[in-house]
Structure 1
Amino acid sequence: MLEIGMKGNAETVVTLDNTAKAFTSGALEVFATPAMISLMEETCWKMIQPELEEGLGSVGTKVDVSHMAPSAIGSTVMCEATLISIDGRKLVFEVVCSDENGMVGMGTHERFIINNEKFMQKATGHK
């Protein structure tokens, strides 16, 4: 059951594959903002998926985050997500990422609960 205040955690290690240079979102070999956003989304969906009925899933619909500090290759970036709002099928999360040196990024992320089969039919143009 989804409840306001529930929390989830995930982490990743910064490698050459998730740097700004690899994502072409910058020229430096530091944790990429798109990789941080991906970690935030992963944390949220993995937290809520076990609470959803069979056949349901969630999709990200909005991200409003700040990436405030760099994380070097070899750093472990940890994300904590807290479900802060439930409005029908719309869920809002507070997300915070940190590494060994402190906070890396923070903000909010919205997800929408969907029927997986219907969503995929819509996505592929089939009714």
Structure 2
Amino acid sequence: MDARDFITVGMSAERLTTVTQDITVQHFVPYMPAVFATPLMILEMEMASGEAVYPVLPAGWISVGSEVDIRHLAPAFVGQTVRTTATVSAVERRLVRFEVASFVGPRKIGDGRHARGLVEVALFTRRFAEG
């Protein structure tokens, strides 16, 4: 299986999430401010990346995160809507690279790069179930 046969540079997806108390740093570390937690911003970036390619994956295949290089540039507060984008920037045989970014309105709050590997679910599950 070669991802270059069905995934192309420029494919993209976008996600919207509203910052709630349970996805703030303060939810996990009480003395910290109630702002969008960096790991959850990264999760949104990973999810947008996966959604950008999932519709074209062969049946029984998924993508899994393998690399993250992210900057968290500015806060997002409870009640604000964060828009996260992911765009395919390169495609290798079994690896897809993305440019990712998160915004509150026009203000960029995070950006970076992410990579996802393509795996066949049945083989992946069997390999790791066997230990």
TM-score of the superposed pair, with normalisation by structure 1: 0.93
Preserved contact between residue 9 and residue 81 of structure 1 (Cα < 8 Å):
yes
Aligned-residue offset at 1:23: 3.6
Could you tell me which residue of structure 2 aligns to residue 62 of structure 1? 67
1:26–1:62 Cα change, 3 Å: farther
SS of residue paired to 1:8: strand
Aligned residues: 126
Letter of the 2:46 partner, please give it: E
Mapping 1:1-127, distance limit 5 Å: 1-24=6-29, 27-100=32-105, 102-125=107-130
Aligned-residue offset at 1:125: 2.2
Aligned-residue offset at 1:123: 2.3
1:62–1:26 Cα change, 3 Å: farther
SS of residue paired to 1:48: helix
Preserved contact between residue 25 and residue 32 of structure 1 (Cα < 8 Å):
no
Deviations 1:22-63 (A, max 9, x none): 244971110000110000001011111110000000100010
Q: Which runs of 5+ in 1 are unaligned?
A: none
Superposed CA RMSD in Å reads 1.6
Preserved contact between residue 95 and residue 116 of structure 2 (Cα < 8 Å):
yes
Q: Which runs of 5+ in 2 are unaligned?
A: 1-5
Letter of the 1:112 partner, please give it: G
Deviations 1:65-108 (A, max 9, x none): 00010000000000111100001011000001000260000000
